Chains A and B, each alone.
Chain A
Amino acid sequence: MPNPKLTRACAALALSLVAGTALAAEKKLTIGVADALTGGGAVYGLPQANAVKMAAEEINAAGGIKVGADNYKLDVIAYDDKANPTEATNAVRKLIDRDGVKYILGFCCSGSTSAVASFIGNEKAVMLVGNAAERSITTKKIPNLVRTRPPADYTGQAAGTFIARKGQKRIAVLGALDVGFYAQYVDSVERELKKAGGEIIAREVFSLKDRDMTPQLTKIRGLNPDAILVVGYVEPAAFVYRQAVELGMKIPRYGFTSGSEEQFLRVTTSEQMEGVWDLRPTELTLLSASKNGVAYHANYTKKFNASPSPSSPYAYDQVYALKAAIEAAGTVDNTEAVAKALRNLPVPSQVVMQYQPVDGKMFDSNGQAYTSNGAFQWQKGQWVFVEDLPSDSKAYSQFLSTLN
């Protein structure tokens, strides 16, 4: 005859153990986003912040991040940095010092990202950079920083080869050349053009807030170039494409913008965009997308009632890379271990971008990831992936390692 008191005690103990396990299993991991949610950089920053939130929800719905016996559900705090260095520093200080966040994602724009990168090495935190393309962000060998987007000159090299192969010799550039990474892109294009006997005959500048580019275009038209190359944020680039047509310029138009169809069509018409090339990392377009990419596009559109910008998966992929790194490191508290695990990570199966791993790893020793580069052309209202651009991630990674 069992002792009823002992049975009740055993039952209570078992219940408390089960409850205890359940409580231990349900933990919360807060991750932060610092990005341009307002201002000129918001065309990149806002979709990135949305992408992080969406990835976090997906991970939570699938059970969270498993660390030993615990299951961590992700909670996202997003702060606006207006793509401004001081604001970005304030936002990240708030995330680390006040909110106790250890993992900070987003970072669409180079100036604000560089400001945070300058001190993140001293923090017990991990910084995952997205769309910011300035090369120097990953030349400083910061152990707790990784970046999903390749530097601009990695893409510029491939773009230059493509333009040269098209047979155009005299190229006029119009762009935000006072922004470092756009200038680096153009320098790389120029190096490749010169190898094929081509040249850049003009470097006209617009600022990110300019909307009337007809003076520069009129000057360029007078030089009679074979093609124009437009490098800059989506809105000013869209105005250039529109105004080039309005000025009757019927030469090939190349660009480096990473804008979505929706973003371009706010400024210009599909007819005015017809035939424009965008030479950029093989980011998200439906025609080039993998199965993950198609699903990402559909889910994002449904959730936010807008198409995702092509570069937004850089941030989405950050979350899955972080998940895999935390699970590999077996800790959420030891940021050094997680940062180390990121450097040794194979490309996770859930990512959207098509990464070119270096030595089988998503991030190289500099913390830099590489995607393939692609030539996209605007055809009948949408970006169409035409072909891959020649890109050697391993060679570039070695070159990046030589820089300080």
Chain B
Amino acid sequence: MNKSLHLLPWLLGLAVLAMLPQLITVKYYLHLSILALIWVIVAQGQNLIQGFTGYVSIVQAGFMGIGAYASTLIGLNFQWPLWLTMMLAPLITALFALATGYPSLRVKGHYFAIVTLAFNLIIVIVLVNYSELTKGEAGISNIPKPWGGSREAFYYLALALAASLTLLAALIARSRVGEILLAIRQNEDFVAAIGISAWKYKLFAFVISAMYAGLGGALYAHFQGFINPEIFGVAQSLDAILAVILGGSGTIAGPVIGAFLVVFLPEILRFADSFRLILYGLILVLATIFMPIGIVGIAKSAFARMTRRGGQHGG
């Protein structure tokens, strides 16, 4: 019964999201919802390394870029089917993550963040300068879109992938691996002291996180039909971090809420014209200061307070 109650908000949320294309009359909101669902995938990946393992990675957008360019370039140069290239994108990103994660996970804390930041910068520099392959800053356009560019169909694809990968993240979090990741976040030395090779689990979290980003990047490329290096810069990696913090770090629902916020909030604030970015920045700063446990954390403590109070009245 308790388990069913726990699942109820998820099922309700999924039902609302499934009905969204029928409820939305203005397609612009459908467009934003697709972007938000792509960001759910990216943020769930970020949450694995940042929220569960306690390592803040600033390369998530860079990995998105690898996935986006991998799927696009393989598709355009070898005429491979779109579905195959999209499936290959996270695998190729995983190879890059293995190569970068192995050395960078030897350092901890801020140093790890700085190393991953450098990786993101390098990825962008390579994308800009290896223009024979990537077309540089001008970018690649006319990237094939599935179903003739139908946004409704793409929405359901993004929803299915976002829901499946959220479920996968929840399964990882509840598994023994997830418990070890949490233990690493709490006390890495202690984990090592009981004979667990922490680095293997950190590398696992980092690579899986990158695979989420790689798939998100491939989805982005085939949804927008255009990519250039600017889309995958450090600013977007910071957005992934913010999505996790705003929603609730180390929770499964947090990245979902956070992803919708980082996509919709700047758009909602368009009414403020040139003050939009100031307002956006202000909201983020205030939210980080006053809601360090994120929206999900606040909702959970409010719910706990209410049920305690309810219990006292009942007793």
Q: Which residues of A contact B (CB under 8 A)?
A: 37-38, 79-80, 82, 84-87, 89-91, 93-94, 96-98, 110-111, 114-115, 117-119, 122, 134, 136, 140, 178-181, 183
Contacts and interface: CB of A to CB of B under 8 A. Distances in A.
Interface string B50-85: 000000000000000000000000000000000000
Nearest to B228: A111
A38 B276 contact: yes
Interface size grouping (class) on chain B: 20 to 34
B276 A80 contact: yes
B141 A114 contact: yes
DSSP class of B's interface residues: helix, strand, loop or mixed? helix
A87 B277 CA distance: 12
B175 interface: no
B27 interface: yes
B61 to A, nearest CB: 11
B270 A80 contact: yes
B28 A94 contact: yes
B189 to A, nearest CB: 40
Nearest to B266: A87
Contacts of A89: 31, 224, 226
B267 A86 contact: no
A97 B26 contact: yes
A94 B267 CA distance: 9
B274 A114 contact: no
Nearest to B143: A118
B137 A97 contact: no
13 contacts: A38-B277, A79-B270, A80-B273, A90-B31, A90-B32, A97-B26, A115-B139, A115-B228, A117-B141, A118-B224, A140-B142, A178-B136, A180-B138
Contacts of B173: none
B224 A115 contact: yes
A133 B128 CA distance: 17
B129 interface: yes
B194 to A, nearest CB: 45
Contacts of B252: none
Nearest to B138: A180
Contacts of A180: 131, 135-138
A111 B230 contact: yes
Interface string B252-294: 0000000000000011001001101100000000000000000
Closest 4 CB pairs of A and B: A97-B28, A118-B141, A180-B138, A118-B226
A38 B274 contact: yes
B149 interface: yes
A37 B273 contact: yes
B274 A80 contact: yes
B157 interface: no
Contact of B138 (A82, A91, A114): A114
A84 B230 contact: yes
Contacts of A118: 141-143, 224-226
A179 B229 CA distance: 11
B231 interface: yes
DSSP class of A's interface residues: helix, strand, loop or mixed? helix
B35 interface: yes
Contact of B226 (A80, A93, A94, A115): A115
Given A37-B273, A80-B270, A119-B225, A114 B31 contact: no
A91 B149 CA distance: 19
Given A38-B277, A80-B270, A178 B138 contact: no
A111 B232 CA distance: 13
A85 B230 CA distance: 8
B138 A136 contact: yes
A178 B224 contact: no
Nearest to A82: B277
Given A38-B276, A80-B270, A115-B226, A178 B32 contact: no
Contacts of B277: 38, 82
A87 B228 CA distance: 13
A270 B124 CA distance: 37
B141 A140 contact: yes
A86 B231 contact: yes
Contacts of A136: 138, 141
A342 B131 CA distance: 33
A111 B141 contact: no
Contact of B228 (A85, A96, A98, A140): A85
A98 B128 contact: no
Contacts of A90: 28, 31-32, 35, 267
A180 B276 CA distance: 29
Nearest to B270: A79
A85 B140 CA distance: 12
B272 to A, nearest CB: 10
A87 B28 CA distance: 13
A79 B271 CA distance: 9
Nearest to B124: A178
Interface in B31-46: 31-32, 35
Given A134-B138, A178-B136, A93 B28 contact: yes
Nearest to A94: B28
B270 A178 contact: no
A114 B273 contact: no
Given A87-B266, A183-B136, 15 more contacts: A38-B276, A80-B270, A84-B230, A90-B35, A93-B32, A94-B267, A98-B26, A110-B138, A111-B138, A111-B139, A111-B228, A118-B142, A119-B224, A180-B137, A181-B138
Interface in B203-223: none
A25 B139 CA distance: 45
A85 B27 contact: no
A178 B137 contact: yes
A30 to B, nearest CB: 15
B276 A85 contact: no
A115 B135 CA distance: 14
Contacts of A98: 26, 28-29
B138 A97 contact: no
A136 B140 CA distance: 10
